Structures are given as structure tokens and as C-alpha cells.
Amino acid sequence: MVKKKFIKVAIDSPAAAGAGTLAKSISKHYNLLYLDTGKIYRIIALTKIKQKNKLDISFLKKKIKNLNLKSLQNKELLSDEVGTEASLVAKNKNIRKLVHSFQINCAYNPPKKFNGSCLDGRDITYKIVPDADFKFFVTASLKVRAKRRFKELKNLSNKSSYSKVLKSIKKRDKNDYNRRISPLKKTKDSMLINTSNLSKRACFLKIKKIIDKKINS
């Protein structure tokens, strides 16, 4: 039997660029454990909103340690309010430290049934999985991202307006690109994938071609 090679895929991207959809389809195709790392910051943000701004670090520590991947599917995490709060809590050095070991463990020690891992976020290519076999920076124009997020929120029956969504994505970009700790950036060794004018299928095929070429060589 041919032993499948263990592969690690790292993706960084600004908000609503389509990285999550892409990462999910890649993970499914290559049987990789998928982790949307933004959801962990969103869980912390939601906890903060519910606790009315009092964040207890030792409570969070326990929460992250016992985190179940299923809890990342909670629909409450998808709101714009939680996303914006997540980009604020993600500036905190202690909070980032808290979630790093969970993310690193998913990337390097996925359950045996998987052939590797695929993580997406803001600091994955240079902080969490710096030795990833494949690194991508997935982006799209601001307007395209705002349109996509607006559509997503509408489907969730969230009553946000397009201009509100555009404003909140701009704010998030500002927070994510300019923060001092682990800012969003494209590393030199990441391949740029601009999804503005590409269908989901076209994006997937573009990445698949790159991965297949390397694993079959």
C-alpha cells in the first residue's frame, strides 16, 4: 500500500475573501483536518459580549483547552458584531498566546484518520505553521468581499445593510493589517490567490493544480 504523504496547508486572508470556502473544499478533497482559526477568536469575542466586557483569562484558558471542534459551528459566531469584537480581542498578546497551542496541535497532530491539516486565519503562514507545505494568501477587492459578506449575513436573516457591512470590513482590515502583534500580511513564500473574479470551483481547481503538481512530483 502506498503511504499517503502528510501535508500541511496554511492560508492567510483578510475578512470575507473566500478563504474559508476554499479551505473547506481543499480539506475535503485531500482529507485534511480543517480549522477556521478565526472562529476561536470569535468564541472569545462572544464570551466577552455575553460577560459584558469582563474577560477572565483563567476561565478562557479552560474554555480553549476543552474546546470541541463542533462548538465552532455555533451560528451565533457568524454575526458582524462578533467578527468586529474578534478583531479587537485578537490584538491582545495574552489571548493570542492562549489560542496558539490549540491551533498548533490541530496543525501538527490531527487525528490519525486525516492525511494532514489545513488552517486559515491571519498569522497561519508565518506564526502557526511556518513550515507548511503549501502557503496561500487569499484575497479579493474590498467591494467584492463586502458584497459576499452582505449576502452571507442576509442568508442568516441578519438585518445588516451593505454600507454597514462595507464599513465593518474596512474597520476589520485596518485592525488586522495594522496591529502590532501578528498582523495580517502576505509572506514572500505564500502564493497569491485573488478570488475577485473567480468562481469557487475555479479557485479550488487553481489550488488543486498547485498541490497535485508538488505531491505527485
Bridge-based pairing state of the strands 7-12 and 33-36:
unpaired
Among 11, 22, 34, 42, binds ligand C5P (CB under 6 A): 42
Residue 177 in grid coordinates: 493589517
By CB under 6 A, residue 41 contacts ligand C5P:
yes
Cβ at position 76, least distance to ligand C5P in Å:
13
Cβ at position 217, least distance to ligand C5P in Å:
30
By CB under 6 A, residue 22 contacts ligand C5P:
no
Sheet holding 191-194, edge to edge: 33-36, 116-121, 7-12, 134-139, 191-194
Pick 175 or 195: Cβ nearer ligand C5P: 175
C-alpha 27/C-alpha 24 separation (Å) is 5
By CB under 6 A, residue 87 contacts ligand C5P:
yes
C-alpha 203/C-alpha 211 separation (Å) is 13
C-alpha 22/C-alpha 19 separation (Å) is 5
By CB under 6 A, residue 172 contacts ligand C5P:
yes
Pick 7 or 89: Cβ nearer ligand C5P: 89
Q: Where along the sequence are the contacts to ligand C5P (CB under 6 A)?
A: 15, 37-39, 41-42, 83, 86-87, 90, 121-124, 172, 175-176
